[in-house]
């Protein structure tokens, strides 16, 4: 059939006929003209690597409560120093938290993303061990 006799609707691009004429044009067969950044995933990109999809949605990190536990032997002043140095509490706030733990058995030092909470628990436990106090610090998911 001469080219002039073809109607537009019967012409197909090398990538195959459009599945739906209202859909976005099939850009596959134009891949050789596109910058790699503009090519749909999996279409003729020259670079080799792991297929990635850019994810724009951000997730808020899970938060963890860091808790101090009471015991009968750790000196009150040591707990106050830990609260000031590890959790950056004022002297008044450190005293309040220490007394709360002393009276209630457990108290919150702060709420942090996982790795921050983990680091703070580690710092408290290291300081307690070095000073031979039985002070315990734990974290729990909020």
Answer for the pair 127, 86: CB distance below 8 angstroms, yes or no.
yes
Answer for the pair 62, 114: CB distance below 8 angstroms, yes or no.
yes
Candidate residues 38, 40, 76, 111; the one interacting with ligand TYC per rule CB under 6 A? 76
Between CA 8 and CA 69 the distance in angstroms is 78
80 binds ligand TYC, rule: CB under 6 A: no
Answer for the pair 109, 68: CB distance below 8 angstroms, yes or no.
yes
Between CA 135 and CA 86 the distance in angstroms is 14
Q: Could you say which residues in the range 104-133 bind ligand TYC, by CB under 6 A? A: none
79 binds ligand TYC, rule: CB under 6 A: yes
Q: Which is nearer to ligand TYC, 64 or 124 (CB)?
A: 124
135 binds ligand TYC, rule: CB under 6 A: yes
Helix or strand holding residue 109 (H, E): strand 106-113
Find the shortest distance in angstroms from Cβ 91 to ligand TYC.
15
Count of residues that interact with ligand TYC, criterion CB under 6 A = 13
Residues binding ligand TYC (CB under 6 A): 68-72, 74-76, 79, 98, 101-102, 135
């Amino acid at each position: 059939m001469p080219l002039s006799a073809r109607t537009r609707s019967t012409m197909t691009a090398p990538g195959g006929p459009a599945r739906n004429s209202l859909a976005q044009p099939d850009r596959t067969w134009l891949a050789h003209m596109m910058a790699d950044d503009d090519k749909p995933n999996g279409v003729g990109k020259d670079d080799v690597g792991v297929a990635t999809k850019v994810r724009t949605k951000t997730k808020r990190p899970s938060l963890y409560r860091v808790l101090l536990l009471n015991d009968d032997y750790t000196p009150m002043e040591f707990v106050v120093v830990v609260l000031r140095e590890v959790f950056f509490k004022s002297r008044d706030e450190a005293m309040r938290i220490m007394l709360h733990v002393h009276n209630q058995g457990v108290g919150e030092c702060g709420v942090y993303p996982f790795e921050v909470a983990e680091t703070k628990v580690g710092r408290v436990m290291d300081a307690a061990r070095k000073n031979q106090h039985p002070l315990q610090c734990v974290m729990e998911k909020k």
